[in-house]
């Protein structure tokens, strides 16, 4: 097995407010590994900490948030120990990020050329002709028609789908090893979304870049990802191969999420998870999911479960498989 | 089949837009809705699906009388709603209500839940204060909320709960048709299932009809009895929802099905053959409006407008292939 490209171990990111008197544990003890060319789906509802996890990796946390524990190793080097200056050299070169809203991540005052050229200019030291050629190549790679003309245009002249593809070109410009895509298709129409996802898969095959896909859409995970990690209330509750988790989910939350999605052409009633996600400033005692869990036991309310191995590279943070495992062995 | 409650008959809606510099102003027309037909029966859900800019929301506005059609008629119980006046118009407005996509924008932050739900009652009924209070508790219980939340303000609720309040308001006047304009798109996955299930239960209990507007085929197909697929202001295909998912005929419907995300990683994968983006409604393509993106376009598609034809009972498609 090849050495992991990215290794996140025991990551803790907390938000501090009111002079540290109020602490929100947005990310608690999150661990995962990502190998070269692999796609990881980070799944969860809004406020579960998936975006904070990604911002911790790229070192772009808002001022109120701090990584208080754990390590993030990219090719063995711990990113949490890097200075802002060193991080600037990593962002855009080794790690790139695609955000949800392409209009907000493009600068309306700069031409497409300037924005796509920037990572190659700073990180790869390219200038003049080779740079222009590189930009055209990148735009062609993300299927922008007539790139030589389009690169002189501005973001407002492009449609939503084109803008998101240009953001993709910027992400690729520095030749990254890892791209973090944070809900890149939520603002796109269904057919445009399908085109964009197909494009990302093609680009991944051509360049061998690893992808972290942050999403709440399980369909995207089923289509795109090799492995997935399900987050709830700041923790990873289950992680493993996408196929395993979709076929036989071990954690009740994963099970419930899968049951709550409408399947095409099926009229089976949906499983509605009762209640709503907890407020992270006041998390429930014991297992954070127990107030909404269909299989909750008395101990779930008081004791927080540990990760249980359900197979190679398959863990679930729940008392249930633990009990089943003990009964079986 | 029962007589349709709502009948939309060859309705068109054009919006004027000014083009050119101000001294040579010209008026162009955005043909938002271009001759659509559909019916909704009592206790039935019609799903209206399409991408942004295809005229779904304009259709909703036409039914709600927020816009008047440029041509064509909308009939409710056989009466032309465009000609309604006075008490008859009020009766129509009472029977048709709406739930919007964003429950943060559709509920006034300065009103208590009780006042929000009672507002349509104040306008449409002469109930006493206590009777109104009772009705508010009744509809709150219908949508699965405790009656004592009536004194709270909208900001005290999560998105899913707010959407329940919006549904309660829509139900307050013994509504017969609710227009649901993307009611779950703004909600979290686990909450979506709650709202969909709630809507399905309400329909069984109260016999209310829905016009469910959405862009996610799986969700729309789950809740709807029939589905109409819209593209650039026209309905390109309409059929029973299970039939539409099993045997889609129009190339655009087929593309939507391929674009729909798989429910399992082992599901059969096809690549979307569709290229390009939706053309502007200001200058729609000639002939079949879909021919610029259609993988199966023929020469005649460029100049001849396809007419909607029944290919099976209840299954109509507007395409030259059939």
Decide if pLDDT at B193 tops 50.
Answer: yes
Q: How much is the pLDDT for A23?
A: 87
Name B124's Cβ contacts closer than 8 Å, sequence gap at least 6. B90, B93, B94, B173
Query: Could you tell me which chain B residue has the CA closest to the CA of A187?
Result: B52
Q: How much is the pLDDT for A329?
A: 32
Q: pLDDT confidence of A322, banded at 50, 70, 90?
A: low
What average pLDDT is seen over chain B? 90
Q: What is the spatial distance between Cα A6 and Cα A42, in angstroms, rounded to a whole number?
A: 14
- Tens digits of residue pLDDT in A140-183: 888 888 888 888 999 988 888 888 889 989 998 888 999 999 98
B96/A193: higher pLDDT: B96
Q: Give how far A88 is from chain B: nearest CA, Å.
A: 34
- What ipTM is given for this predicted complex? 0.82
Of A100, A211, A209, nearest in space to A160 by CA: A100
Largest Cα separation within chain B, whole Å, is 68
Q: pLDDT confidence of A101, banded at 50, 70, 90?
A: confident
Q: What is the spatial distance between Cα B287 and Cα B301, in angstroms, rounded to a whole number?
A: 6
Q: pLDDT confidence of B107, banded at 50, 70, 90?
A: very high
The arithmetic mean of pLDDT across residues B176-192, rounded, is: 88
CATH level 3 topology of A6-94+176-263+274-328: Rossmann fold (3.40.50)
Q: pLDDT confidence of B213, banded at 50, 70, 90?
A: very high
DSSP code string of B44-92: -EEEEE--TTSSHHHHHHHHTTSS--SEEEEEETTEEGGG--HHHHHHH
Q: How much is the pLDDT for A323?
A: 59
Of A181, A75, A76, A58, nearest in space to A67 by CA: A58
A and B: number of Cβ contacts within 8 A? 125
Q: What is the spatial distance between Cα A118 and Cα A114, in angstroms, rounded to a whole number?
A: 6
Question: Is A318 within 8 Å of chain B by CB?
Answer: no
A243, B51: Cβ pair inside 8 Å? no
The arithmetic mean of pLDDT across residues A271-286, rounded, is: 85
Q: Which residues of chain B are within 8 Å of residue A272 when distances are taken between CB atoms? A: 190, 193-194, 196-198
- Tens digits of residue pLDDT in B307-320: 999 998 889 999 99
Decide if pLDDT at A3 tops 80.
Answer: no
Q: pLDDT confidence of A189, banded at 50, 70, 90?
A: confident
Question: Is A277 within 8 Å of chain B by CB?
Answer: yes
The arithmetic mean of pLDDT across residues B197-226, rounded, is: 92
A223, B259: Cβ pair inside 8 Å? no
CATH level 3 topology of B39-275: Rossmann fold (3.40.50)
Strand residues in chain B grouped as ranges (E): 6-19, 26-40, 45-49, 71-76, 79-80, 96-99, 177-181, 209-214, 226-231, 234-240, 309-312, 315-317
B262, A192: Cβ pair inside 8 Å? no
Helix (H, G, I), strand (E, B) or coil at A222: helix
Q: How far is CA B215 from CA A27, B256, B259, in A?
A: 33, 9, 11
Q: pLDDT confidence of A266, banded at 50, 70, 90?
A: confident
What average pLDDT is seen over chain A? 88
The arithmetic mean of pLDDT across residues A58-85, rounded, is: 90
Helix (H, G, I), strand (E, B) or coil at B252: helix
Q: How much is the pLDDT for A327?
A: 39
Q: How much is the pLDDT for A265?
A: 75
Which residue, chain included where needed, has tokens 């802002």?
A84
The arithmetic mean of pLDDT across residues A9-30, rounded, is: 88
Helix (H, G, I), strand (E, B) or coil at A108: coil
Decide if pLDDT at B19 tops 90.
Answer: no
The arithmetic mean of pLDDT across residues A206-210, rounded, is: 90
């Amino acid at each position: 097995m090849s050495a992991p490209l990215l290794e996140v171990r025991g990551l803790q990111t907390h938000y501090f407010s009111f002079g540290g008197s109020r602490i929100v544990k947005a990310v608690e003890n999150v661990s995962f590994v990502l190998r070269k060319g692999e796609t990881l789906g980070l799944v969860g509802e809004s406020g579960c900490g998936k975006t904070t996890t990604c911002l911790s990796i790229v070192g772009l946390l808002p001022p109120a948030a701090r990584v208080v524990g754990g390590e993030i190793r990219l090719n063995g080097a711990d990113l949490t120990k890097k200075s802002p200056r060193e991080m600037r050299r990593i962002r855009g070169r080794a790690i790139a990020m695609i955000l949800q809203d392409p209009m907000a991540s493009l600068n309306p005052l700069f031409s497409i050329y300037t924005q796509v050229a920037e990572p190659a200019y700073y990180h790869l030291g390219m200038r003049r002709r080779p740079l222009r050629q590189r930009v055209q190549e990148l735009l062609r790679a993300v299927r922008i028609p007539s790139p030589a003309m389009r690169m002189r245009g501005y973001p407002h002249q492009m449609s939503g789908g084109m803008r998101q593809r240009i953001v993709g070109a910027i992400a690729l410009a520095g030749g990254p090893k890892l791209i973090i895509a944070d809900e890149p298709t939520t603002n796109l129409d269904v057919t445009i979304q399908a085109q964009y996802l197909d494009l990302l898969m093609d680009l991944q095959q051509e360049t061998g870049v690893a992808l972290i896909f942050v999403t709440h859409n399980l369909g995207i995970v089923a289509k795109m990802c090799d492995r997935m990690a399900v987050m709830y209330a700041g923790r990873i509750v289950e992680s493993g191969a996408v196929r395993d988790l979709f076929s036989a989910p071990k954690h009740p939350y994963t099970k419930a999420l899968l049951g709550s999605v409408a399947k095409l052409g099926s009229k089976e009633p949906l499983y509605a998870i009762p209640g709503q996600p907890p407020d992270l400033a006041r998390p429930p005692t014991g297992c954070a999911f127990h107030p909404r869990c269909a299989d909750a036991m008395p101990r779930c309310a008081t004791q927080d479960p540990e990760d249980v191995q359900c197979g190679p590279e398959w863990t679930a943070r729940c008392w249930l498989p633990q009990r089943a495992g003990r009964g079986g062995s | 089949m029962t007589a349709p409650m709502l009948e939309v008959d060859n309705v068109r809606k054009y919006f004027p837009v000014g083009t050119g510099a101000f001294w040579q102003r010209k008026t162009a027309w955005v043909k938002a809705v271009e001759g659509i037909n559909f019916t909704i029966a009592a206790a039935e859900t019609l799903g209206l699906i399409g991408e942004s800019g295809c005229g779904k929301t304009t259709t909703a506005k036409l039914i709600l009388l927020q816009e008047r059609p440029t041509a064509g008629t909308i009939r409710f119980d056989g009466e032309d709603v465009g000609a309604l006046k006075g008490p008859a118009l009020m009766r129509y407005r009472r029977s048709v209500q709406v739930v919007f996509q964003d429950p943060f924008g559709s509920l006034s932050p300065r009103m208590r839940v009780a006042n929000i739900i009672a507002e349509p009652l104040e306008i449409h009924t002469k109930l006493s204060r206590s009777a109104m209070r009772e009705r508010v508790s009744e509809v709150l219980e219908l949508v699965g909320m405790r009656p004592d939340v009536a004194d709270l303000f909208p900001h005290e609720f999560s998105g899913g709960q707010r959407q329940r309040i919006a549904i309660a308001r829509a139900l307050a006047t013994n509504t017969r048709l609710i227009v649901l304009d993307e009611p779950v798109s703004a909600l979290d996955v686990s909450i979506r299932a709650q709202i969909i299930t709630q809507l399905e239960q309400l329909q069984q209990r109260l016999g209310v009809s829905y016009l469910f507007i959405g862009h996610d085929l799986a969700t729309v197909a789950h809740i709807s009895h029939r589905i109409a697929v819209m593209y650039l202001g026209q309905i390109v295909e309409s059929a029973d929802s299970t039939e539409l998912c099993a045997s889609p005929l129009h190339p655009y419907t087929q593309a939507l099905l391929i674009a729909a995300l798989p429910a399992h990683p082992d599901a059969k994968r096809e690549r979307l053959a569709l290229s390009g983006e939706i053309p502007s409604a200001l200058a729609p393509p000639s002939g079949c409006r879909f021919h610029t993106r259609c993988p199966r376009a023929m020469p005649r598609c460029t100049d001849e407008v396809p007419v909607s034809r029944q290919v099976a009972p209840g299954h109509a498609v507007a395409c030259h292939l059939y």
